[in-house]
């Protein structure tokens, strides 16, 4: 098996994309998802990762300087500790949003309409066997 994707890198998001694109359940449920999402990691990682969804399939994964350069529909912003907590299932996504540990910019009505799909995506992210640099 190949090396584990590293937390806080584009390789982690490519692994998420590969898993989702190979998941028939996701592809069926996510057909209405045609958006660009950017995941912002604040200091000390200080990186932004863009995922482009077209009818549920992730067609592009990249690291970007500025979330607006890709016309992001949703920008999800958090400190690395919050991202690590979410991915390791140590932090509940709803509580992370409610306490401001993770902030989402974008149309809230769209987010709420697709909450089940986005929750499925978060569950997929938590199933990635990532290298967090602490093992």
Which pLDDT belongs to residue 1?
Answer: 45
Averaged pLDDT, 89-110: 91
pTM of the model: 0.91
From 86, 64, 74, 114, select the one nearest 16 (Cα to Cα).
Answer: 86
pLDDT class for 14, splitting at 50, 70, 90? very high
Domain boundaries, the chain: 10-126
Q: How far is CA 88 from CA 7, 21, 67, 92, in A?
A: 11, 21, 25, 10
pLDDT at 2: 57
pLDDT tens-digit profile of 27-84? 999 999 999 999 999 999 999 999 999 999 999 999 999 988 889 999 999 999 999 9
Q: What is the pLDDT of residue 94?
A: 85
Inform me whether the pLDDT recorded for 135 exceeds 60: no
Tokens representing residue 57 in the block: 């399939």
What's the pLDDT score for residue 6? 95
Architecture of domain 10-126: 2-Layer Sandwich (3.30)
pLDDT digits (tens, 9 = 90+) for 108-120: 889 888 989 988 9
């Amino acid at each position: 098996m190949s090396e584990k994707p590293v937390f806080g890198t584009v390789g982690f998001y490519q692994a998420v994309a590969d898993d989702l694109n190979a998941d028939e359940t996701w592809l069926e449920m996510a057909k209405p998802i045609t958006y660009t999402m950017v995941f912002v990691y604040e200091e000390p990682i200080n990186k932004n990762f863009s995922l482009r969804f077209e009818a549920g399939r992730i067609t592009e994964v990249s690291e970007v300087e500025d979330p607006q350069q890709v016309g992001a529909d949703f920008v999800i912003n958090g400190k690395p500790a919050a991202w690590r907590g979410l991915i390791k299932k140590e932090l509940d996504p709803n509580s992370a949003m409610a306490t401001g540990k993770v902030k989402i910019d974008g149309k809230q009505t769209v987010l709420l309409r697709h909450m089940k799909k986005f929750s499925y995506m978060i569950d997929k992210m938590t199933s990635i066997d990532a290298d967090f640099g602490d093992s």
